[in-house]
Amino acid sequence: MAQTASLPPTILVIIGAAGDLTRRKLIPALYNLYLDRQLPERFAIVGVARRPMDDDAFRDRLREGVASFSRRGIVDEASWRAFAGGVSYLSEDVLHPASGLALNGRLAAIEQEWDLRANRIHYLAVPPQMMEPSAAMLQRLGVCRDCAHDRLVVEKPFGRDLASARELNRFLGELFVESQIYRIDHYLGKETVQNILAFRFANSLFEPIWNRRYIDQVQITVAETVGVEERGDYYDRAGALRDMVQNHLLQLLCLVAMEPPISFAADDVRNKKVDVLRAIRPFHPDAIHRVAVRGQYRRGIVLGRDVRGYREEPKVAPDSTTETFAAFTFHLDNWRWQGVPFYLRTGKRMPAKVSEINVLFHEPPHQFFPSAAVESWQPNRIVIRIQPEEGIGTRIQVKQPGTRMLLGTAEMRFRYHEAFRTPAPEAYETLLLDVIRGDATLFMRADQIESAWQAVSPILEAWESVPTAGFSEYAAGSWGPEAADLMVARQRHSWLQPSAVQE
């Protein structure tokens, strides 16, 4: 099956290839790119991990992952065999002083067969504590020496606080140049997330009203129905703020609030995101309880099923105060957004799996309709749905049919599955192809990572200094603790029930 001749020959090295990320996400994404003829004509995958395994066993493991987790599955055996023919495996422990020699030899053998120097992408699909040893091994071997052709992909979590993020940035910055480092956040690869830029800056209808004069508030909700599943040991050390807010939700905030970049070049776009993070009003320690809420799910009912509480989950401490829900009020101290609250919330064991951005507009300056006509009046809003049904809707007021003037709410909507018959690629398909192309637009820069941590550090410090302060439980299957409702009620607002749930 022919691939893209315009892309240079590429070798993708996955360090930590025996883990679930490779099986569930990376290889299914690459196989779909192969089926869509978007990979380079010459493309090889080298998996590296400690687990003893030969090439055939590795390929069998990956095949099972594609069959279970790919949006297409195994299309046909011939296609899979052709794709898997470029996949190989090496058993190496990056902590061993002699590690990497076999990898160096494998890269040299592939390039000798191709009779050229390929682009090399080294993907660190490893736990946080293994990032530095893995990167050090690559630098020691000199396999990422060519700044123009060699790239390093780093998965989240990128640090667990500001100090550790700075230290990791410093460490990587001593081994590689910034242009080589691709810090990945899969949320940025989602179609609707990318579409925020197109929606805002490609339509003159919306950008002129995208400011404090017209917008009253912004709400961002990322809710999950699942608990911690098999990640109890990791999650109990992380919590909702580290796991979701510092990366995913702040990325959404940046896209909603950023100024228009001068071009679509990677650094021009990322500069504007950093500006948003730096504009976040610092949290005063004495006022954190008013603008930051945390909670933990107890027993309840989710989607009609009884579920256990967080402290009853495997590998979770029985007295844990780790938050599984977090809600915040952010303010941006800049010209465009002064005085507009941004409400962010995320939680596990919510009533529905939904990610949604609601942009609510001010009321009209003068309401001349009879009071009876506006009993069901609601402010105009724009709803950007990221999941489960990707699309954008605009809620407006219209006259209801009948002989009297009665206003009702209607939606003008765009849905991906209705407007476009082509299935949207998975987030990792988009991001991996961008790494192959050398396009860093959807990846985080060092200063962006540190600015995000700096924004939430006062909250982390306050919560860790007094683990029980402001801590409350909420029933699984609810929308979180009452304190989150009180937080927005202080500004005479209320949380919107996500429209994906209403429908």
What's the Cα-to-Cα distance from 490 to each of 19, 212, 331, 362, 487, rounded to whole Å? 46, 19, 15, 17, 6
Find tokens 């070798």 and name the residue. 11
Q: Which of 96, 248, 362, 366 is catalytic?
A: 248
Beta strands 354-361 and 381-387, pairing class: antiparallel
CB 215 within 8 A of CB 362: yes
Query: DSSP assignment, residue 249?
Result: I
| β-sheet bridge partners, residue 393 | 383, 413
Read off the DSSP letter of residue 40: B
What pairing do the DSSP bridges indicate for beta strands 292-298 and 325-331? antiparallel
Q: Among residues 171, 161, 297, 146, which one has the least CA distance to residue 227?
A: 297
Q: Report d(CA 432, CA 439) in Å as an integer.
A: 10
493 is catalytic: no
Three-state DSSP at 86 gives coil
Grouping H, G, I as helix, E, B as strand and the rest as coil, residue 35 is: helix
What gap in Å lies between CA 350 and CA 346, rounded to an integer? 9
Rg for the chain, CA atoms, rounded: 24
DSSP classification of residue 227? -
The values of phi and psi at residue 375, to 5°, are -60, -35
Q: DSSP assignment of 100-129, as one string?
A: THHHHHHHHHHHHHHTSPPEEEEEE-S-GG
Distance of CA 314 to the CA centre of its chain: 25
C-alpha triplet 462, 463, 465: angle, nearest 5°: 65
Beta partners for 291? Answer: none
Q: What is the DSSP letter of 332?
A: B
Helix (H, G, I), strand (E, B) or coil at 222: strand
Catalytic residues: 248
